[in-house]
Amino acid sequence: MANAHTLQFQEELKVDPLRREVDRIDWATVDLPDTWADHIDWTHLPDLRRVLRTLAGRERQRVRLPAQLPGSAWIPKYVLQEFHNLPNGNYSKSFSRGYAQGFDHAMLGSLKAGRRRVAEALSGAHCALDLGCGAGRQAAALREVGVGEVWGLDPSPYLLQHAARAYPQIQWVQGLAEDTGLADGQFDAVAVCFVFHELPPHYLRQALAELARITKPGARLAVLEPSPLQWSAGYRWLWRHHGWRGLYFRALARRAYEPFAGAWHQQDFAELLAEAGFTLLQEDTGCPFRFFFAQRTDDTVVNHPPQPSMDKS
């Protein structure tokens, strides 16, 4: 059963003015407006300077949304930042496409195994959600292990469009981790891949309470996040234990703009899960990933085989 903390955060969500019905949009075909980042003149020196300084992490501005963009009225300010040093963040056609294609390369191909581990932990589910789905690869991995019905949710219409065009067999919806707009008890599994470290602590608590609301009793939750090792360990220790890959992932963690990553690494995630009504069954920290497997509290325990280590050094 959910404890008093869970009920408190669920009550916050009930009165949140952002609560709304999820719009059913055909993300593959909807005509999304261009943003300023789609009209960069690469021969114009000020434009080029702005892009290069942003990519280098030396300049950041608030994300600007076209008024007619789906969700522009309710996407919260914490989302509208230039995460990962992307000009206009995840809100443009061009840079979101580049990010969707390039992120796996930046992670040295390790995310393929990471997504597979998350998907295998949820195999056998009837209806699963990929929370913060981005371009949809984790959702696709869920389909590959035989999950019958898969949904993907993300606040960015541009990422949803890439996902819908690449994986038309999955249902894509726009929403927030803390305010999905989805039905009570809809899912028996949830995958979260590189999302929670992008949330401010208050919204992280709300997101977990929201997951408790939209999942069935006994539902499984698999979470893959960046490891704290490359965030806090020294270069010498990383070189000794993980070689050049450890050095690379530390440099990447420090270079990419992720304003809430430091707060995430200080959270007691097991405690937060318990507050929301989940029991942590497995935790594994390697380099570059940290994996969690939990279950929504119920009288019945799902027996799930332990997964191999995510240490890819």
> What is residue 7's three-state secondary structure?
helix
pLDDT at 15: 36
Phi (first) and psi of residue 34, to 5 degrees: -70, 155
Long-range contacts formed by 282-286: CB under 8 A, 24+ apart? 282/306, 282/307, 284/309, 284/310, 285/227, 285/228, 285/229, 286/227, 286/229, 286/310, 286/311, 286/312, 286/313
In this predicted structure, what is the pLDDT of residue 21?
A: 46
| Domain 1-297: assigned CATH number | 3.40.50.150
Name the pLDDT band for 210 (thresholds 50, 70, 90). Answer: very high
Question: To the nearest whole percent, how much of the chain has pLDDT over 90?
Answer: 80
Residues composing the chain: 313
- Tell me the per-residue pLDDT of 217-227, one tens digit each, with 9 for 90 and over: 999 999 999 99
State if pTM tops 0.85: yes
pLDDT tops 50 at residue 9: no
pLDDT value of position 127:
98
Query: Of all helices (H) and strands (E), which one includes residue 128?
Result: strand 127-131
Helix (H, G, I), strand (E, B) or coil at 209: helix
How high is the pLDDT of residue 100? 85
pLDDT greater than 50 at residue 294: yes
Torsion of CA 155, 17, 262, 105, to 10 degrees: 0
Q: What pLDDT is attached to residue 23?
A: 63
Q: Looking at the predicted structure, is the pLDDT value of residue 306 above 60?
A: no
Q: Looking at residues 112-127, what average pLDDT do you find?
A: 97
Indicate the pLDDT class of residue 123, thresholds 50, 70 and 90.
Answer: very high
Q: Which of 229, 251, 226 is nearest to 240 (CA)?
A: 229
Q: Is the pLDDT of residue 253 over 80?
A: yes
Return the domain boundaries, the chain. 1-297
pLDDT at 82: 95
- Does the structure show a pLDDT above 70 at 26? yes
Q: CA–CA separation, 44 vs 1, rounded Å?
A: 59
CA–CA separation, 239 and 245 (whole Å): 8
Mean pLDDT of 68-87: 94
Round to whole Å and give the CA distance between 255 and 86.
12
Q: What's the mean per-residue pLDDT of the chain?
A: 88
Q: Residue 311: is its pLDDT beyond 90?
A: no
